[in-house]
A and B are shown apart, each in its own frame.
Chain A
Amino acid sequence: MSLDPSSAVGRDKRLALCICLVLIGAVLSPLPQNWSRRPKDNFPLSYYPMFSAKRDPVETFYYVVGLDAEGQRRYMRHTVIGDGGENQVRKALRNIVQAGGSPELAQTVAQRVAQRSGRRYRDIVSVSICRGKYNVDDYFHGKKEPVSERIYATAEVNRTQTP
């Protein structure tokens, strides 16, 4: 039962206890972020803020819209916007727009769309990098148009240059 440091077992148990305290303490260490003015999430020690944020009735989203020749809108999949999965692309898209990189991104997406022959992409003639505000409740009751939308950059899909 004892943690007597003079015995080998006691020393080993003390070391084990130290490891336990350090690791549990480390997992608890991000807790103060909850009361910080500018909280910062981290890895692997997170304060797990993902479900705690308050959601507003009208939310802002970043996305890429493709238009066909008749002006029909189609949302572009994250796979043509960037790499690394849905959430990664979403955050990267926001960061790029905020950093002023929309025109270059629009060109990149247009080139990728031109290389695709699937039903979703083959009629697309232009792509636009957008930030839109949507009423969440309206959206879930069938009214899927944005309350307001700002287009940061647009690029034509040029299929003639595609090899």
Chain B
Amino acid sequence: MNTLWRRFHDFWFESAPATRLALLRICVGAFITWFLWDNRGTYLRVAGLDPQLFAPVGVVFHGPVTLELFRWLFDTTFVLAILFTLGLWHRVTAPIFACLLLWLMCYRQSWSMIYHSDNMALMHIIVLAVSRSADALSLDAVLRGRRTPGAASEERVGWEYNWPVRLMSALVVTAYFVTAVAKLAGPMGLEWMTGHNLRAQMAVDAMRKELLGATPNAVSHALYDMVLVFSVLAKASLCLEFFAPLALLHRRAGWFWAINAFMMHWGILFVMHITFHYQLTGVMFLAFFPVEQVLVLWRRLARALDIQGRMPAPIGHPMPQAAVEHTASRVANHHAILYYDGECGLCDRFVQFVLKHDPAEHFQFATLQSPAGRQQLARLDLPDTDLKTMVMVEGDEPYTRSTAALRICRQLAAPWPLLYAFMIVPRPLRDGVYSFIAARRKLWFRPPGECPVMAPELRRRFLS
């Protein structure tokens, strides 16, 4: 029990950068700001409907308010949404914004129709409003930085930035689980999985729209007789919803689940023309991903653009003196060593590629045939006669096969870090592709010929 609690504690209160939570605040805040802007007309029209249609839900325990008061409250909420996104006076404005938004949305749903797509956006706003989501990337952080020079809020890391992210993910999966329970506890029970009811739901939805004058949905008419499709979709969607809580157990399980849930909503849009905006934009699923990596990529791109004019000269060509000095000053910044097969043409080309796209000089190189390379092979218990993988040592951690290749790409100049997204593919599958190519590399690629004359600053990056 104690071990379980410790695991939960470490998982829930793990350290995270302040920028992760801050980016979520910006994305969710920007979504709500857009949503309010886009729906202002509808909200005001609905607030002016016949009072007979009013049936209060949520925190609304009163009758309809005057249109003037509603307009004033709506516009105040909109201004607060902007302040929330910018992160200004967060401790005061964010809770007020969350409370006003809660009332506003409940009031809007009190006119005969509940829109289930708005629930999670509201819950996420509440989480972000009560947490320290404006400690970074906010006007508050800028003002704090002016008062206390040197306090770099973007570099803050702590447990207080992780639990809200975990909670946002947990709320999402809980809502999907509740949806699954409704299906299983409903009149259909397990029979829901046959897909007949899903097909009927789609058909009735299409008919409702057509009978209210909409153009017939060609996709739903085309799919209606494909019973097998609905059987598969029903099983897949029910599994996705019922087992949603498992997405919290592992980072990659979370990615996998979030991507599938995101695709499910696009499928619903395609087949039924139902637009769940928060889900379709993907903002709802951002908490499952290390969104702060966007900043890392952005900085790397900016750095690459900055360095572009001072890139190392091609192998065999002399470099300008200024560039030599610039590179020499950075040579101590190597963070990883790439061990490769010195007799393989593909590996040689890959090394040239890394050299070309590694302006930050993150990597040093050594052949697997060198004493250092043999040492690494022995450490990993790999044969030194039949080389089947490169080895990349980062920190003190060795990586092989596809993991090594993708981790290398992550450190290169944009756009190559995007390839790191392939880490989501299960490792046996990735390594299978890697091994397939590795086994045929000597057939497909000529071994490297004469070594070109290398500039000294590049030669320094090769370990003997």
CA distance A90 to B209 in the complex (A): 9
A69 touches B (CB below 8 Å): no
Assess the A47–B212 pair: CB atoms within 8 A. no
Selected interface stretch from B108-116, B330-338, B403-411, B418-426: B108-116
Assess the B182–A47 pair: CB atoms within 8 A. yes
Assess the B178–A30 pair: CB atoms within 8 A. yes
**Nearest Cβ in chain B — how far from A142, in angstroms?**
10
What chain B residues lie within 8 Å of A77 (beta carbons)?
212-214
Question: Chain A contact residues: over half helix, strand or loop, or mixed?
Answer: mixed
Within 8 Å by CB of B213, from A1, A23, A75, A132, lies A75
Interface size on B, residues (CB 8 A): 68
Assuming the A-B contacts A12-B160, A81-B212, are A35 and B185 also in contact, with contact meaning beta carbons closer than 8 angstroms in the complex? yes
Assess the B188–A88 pair: CB atoms within 8 A. no
**Nearest Cβ in chain B — how far from A62, in angstroms?**
8
Assuming the A-B contacts A49-B182, A75-B211, are A92 and B159 also in contact, with contact meaning beta carbons closer than 8 angstroms in the complex? no
A117 touches B (CB below 8 Å): no
CA distance A132 to B207 in the complex (A): 12
CA distance A57 to B419 in the complex (A): 50
Cβ proximity bits B434-448 to A, threshold 8 Å, 1 near / 0 not: 000000000000000
Assess the A44–B187 pair: CB atoms within 8 A. no
How many A-B contacts if CB must be within 8 Å? Answer: 186
| Residue among A54, A63, A85 with max Cβ neighbours from chain B (10 Å) | A54
B221 touches A (CB below 8 Å): yes
Within 8 Å by CB of B111, from A3, A23, A88, lies A88
Please name 17 pairs of A and B residues whose Cβ atoms are closer than 8 Å in the assembled complex, sorted by A: A3-B9, A19-B130, A23-B123, A23-B126, A31-B181, A35-B185, A44-B118, A46-B119, A51-B198, A52-B185, A54-B188, A55-B197, A63-B211, A75-B211, A75-B212, A86-B208, A88-B112
**Using a CB–CB distance below 8 Å, which chain A residues touch chain B?**
1, 3, 9, 12-13, 16-17, 19-20, 23-24, 27-28, 30-31, 34-35, 41-55, 59, 61, 63, 75-78, 81-92, 95-96, 99, 101, 120, 132, 134, 136, 139-140
**Using a CB–CB distance below 8 Å, which chain B residues touch chain A?**
6, 9-10, 12-13, 42, 45-46, 48-50, 52-53, 57-58, 102, 105-106, 109, 111-116, 118-119, 122-123, 126-127, 130, 159-160, 163, 166-167, 170-171, 174-175, 178-179, 181-183, 185-188, 192, 197-198, 200-201, 203-204, 207-214, 221, 224-225
